[in-house]
Structure 1
Amino acid sequence: MPYAVIAHYRCLDEEAALIREALLSMREHTRREPGNLAYEVHAEESADPPAFILYEQYTDRAAFDAHAASDHFEKHILGTVRPRLIDRTVYFAETL
């Protein structure tokens, strides 16, 4: 059963360009993962502070776990994005 992740990230104005770049790089890496079905990056319109919404879909929870254990996740998400966020909300769900 497909597994979905929806994340909402908020950051300071001065961090937005770096976070955007890291998320777009993640998109390119993640879309090449064998268990990835979708990885979409959105900038929330007129958000103050800046905000990004991610929609990810994987073949199953194991595919997401492999994604979260990848080198690119560690570099871009754990190393670049998360330390710069002022707020982070993530939802995990099975697709019906």
Structure 2
Amino acid sequence: MSAIICITAEWRTQPEHAETVRQLMLQAAAAVRANEPGNLLYLAHQDPKDPTHFLFYEQYADQAALEAHVASPHYKELVAGQLVPLLTERHVSVYHLLG
């Protein structure tokens, strides 16, 4: 069985925060790609029909890589510190890659 861990983080915000959330998500994605060797994929999405609805799709090489992500300074600053307070809904799901 593969050790790869997949995360989906589905978020909603108020219309007045949508652009700020979008910009912070792009910053977070760039920081993850630049600083986390255990991250395999980190993609930010925005619903074209509902600009207050966002999705992160993430893949990590293993549990240690996911833990390193959550412990990283950019996660603590951008996601936990700035993004999460702007959200009205937050749903995170964890999956293991089959195969």
* TM-score, scaled to structure 2: 0.92
What is the aligned partner in structure 2 of residue 36 from structure 1? 39
**Number of positions where the alignment pairs a residue of Structure 1 with one of Structure 2:** 95
Structure 2: which 5+ residue stretches go unaligned?
none
1:1-96 equivalences in 2 (<5 Å): 1-32=3-34, 33-47=36-50, 50-96=52-98
Identical-residue share of aligned pairs (%): 35
Instruction: Give the ranges of 4+ consecutive aligned residues of structure 1 lying more than 4 Å apart after TM superposition.
Output: none
Pairwise CA RMSD:
1.0
Secondary structure of 1:6 counterpart: strand
Question: Aligned partners of 2:19, 2:48: CA distance in 1, in Å?
Answer: 15
Structure 1: which 5+ residue stretches go unaligned?
none
AA at the equivalent of 1:38: L
Question: Aligned partners of 2:44, 2:95: CA distance in 1, in Å?
Answer: 18
CA drift at 1:69? 0.4
Question: Aligned partners of 2:33, 2:63: CA distance in 1, in Å?
Answer: 16
CA drift at 1:93? 1.0
* TM-score, scaled to structure 1: 0.95
1:45-77 residue CA offsets vs partner (Å, 9 max, x unmatched): 2116x1101100000111011000000001100
